[in-house]
Amino acid sequence: MAHGLTGIDHTVLAAADLEAARQTYARLGFTLTPRGRHIGWATGNYCIMFGGNYIELLGIAEPGGFTAGLEQALAQRGEGVHKIVLGSQDAAASQAALLRSGFAASDPQSLKRALELPEGDVLPAFTLVHLPPEATPQASMFVCQHLTPELLRRPQWLLHPNGATHLAGCVVVCDEPAALEPHYERLFGAGTCVRTDRMLAARIGGEHILFVTPTDLETLFPDLEHAERTLPYVAGMRLRVHNPDAAAQYFARTGVAYERALDGTVLVPAEAAHGCFLEFSARV
């Protein structure tokens, strides 16, 4: 992959009430890690881990402290996925490659969080490289390298009762998706983007970001009601399961609201998942 980027490392779902989001996603059949607290920041999180990437539920743990823009984002845009994070095995090398390509990538930044385990806190560590808005038009992204992946991928955290095994992609709603093709080919590499009519699929590693117009969102996901929102925004996350029927049976058994598409895909609406619909499919 271009610039040493390996795929979607994780998404960041901004939650107005972190504990409520934890309860929601546990009810949706996800196994969550214990709570994490970002050292030096006022934010906390719970993570939904898969073998190759994850979902981060991010909220404010200490009102009044530094939230890295989370408080303002919630006030302006409400709950939902606010960040798509790109993976790298060497953030410094990725930053150097991005600079050579003319991207104004930030210097690598160190970040740790205290993960609250029963036996005591451990400190997962990361290196982040921030990208300017013009590098990722219509979406907010940064680069992340895991320095201590073994602390986050314990076997018991990778098993989810709803059957989800991987975060396969995101659906971003924006104006003129086709115009984004040269930008994301420059970032992700030649041949990584496929344009179909007004839609654009940008593939990075084994994942993809699907850019669509509001009209195309309605066409692609007619079984869901889509609230009118300020563009751009992440409308949904696409999750891989081995057996969508088993996911549907789990939701029916636990009383979770869901819809079945004609192709068998299982859909949980955004209002039941803190601002972002969830698609469970064996095809993505």
User: What CATH number is attached to the domain comprising 202?
Assistant: 3.10.180.10
pLDDT, mean of residues 180-200? 96
What is the number of structural domains in the chain? 2
Of 105, 140, 157, which marks where a domain is finished? Answer: 157
Is the pLDDT at 41 greater than 90, yes or no? no
Is the pLDDT at 236 greater than 90, yes or no? yes
Is the pLDDT at 56 greater than 90, yes or no? yes
pLDDT, mean of residues 206-220? 97
Is residue 113 located within the same domain as residue 231? no
> Whole-number mean pLDDT of the chain?
96
Is residue 243 located within the same domain as residue 136? no
Only one residue has tokens 């300020």, namely 230
pTM of the model: 0.97
Of 157, 183, 200, which marks where a domain is finished? Answer: 157
Q: What is the pLDDT of residue 63?
A: 82
Chain Cα centroid distance, residue 225 = 21
Is residue 6 located within the same domain as residue 125? yes
Is residue 19 located within the same domain as residue 127? yes
DSSP 241-281: ES-HHHHHHHHHHHT---EE-TTS-EEE-GGGTTS-EEEEE
Q: What is the pLDDT of residue 26?
A: 98
Is residue 137 located within the same domain as residue 21? yes
Q: Which residue range(s) make up the domain with 136?
A: 2-157
Is residue 149 located within the same domain as residue 192? no
Residues 61-70 have pLDDT tens digits of: 888 888 888 9
What SS3 class is residue 159?
Answer: coil
Is residue 249 located within the same domain as residue 129? no
Is residue 14 located within the same domain as residue 148? yes
Phi and psi based region of residue 264 (left: phi greater than 0; alpha: psi -120 to 50; beta: remaining): left
Is the pLDDT at 123 greater than 90, yes or no? yes
Which residues touch 136 (CB under 8 Å, ≥6 apart)? 183, 184, 187
Is residue 195 located within the same domain as residue 272? yes
State how far the Cα of 233 lies from the Cα of 224, in Å rounded to an integer.
16
Q: What is the pLDDT of residue 62?
A: 83
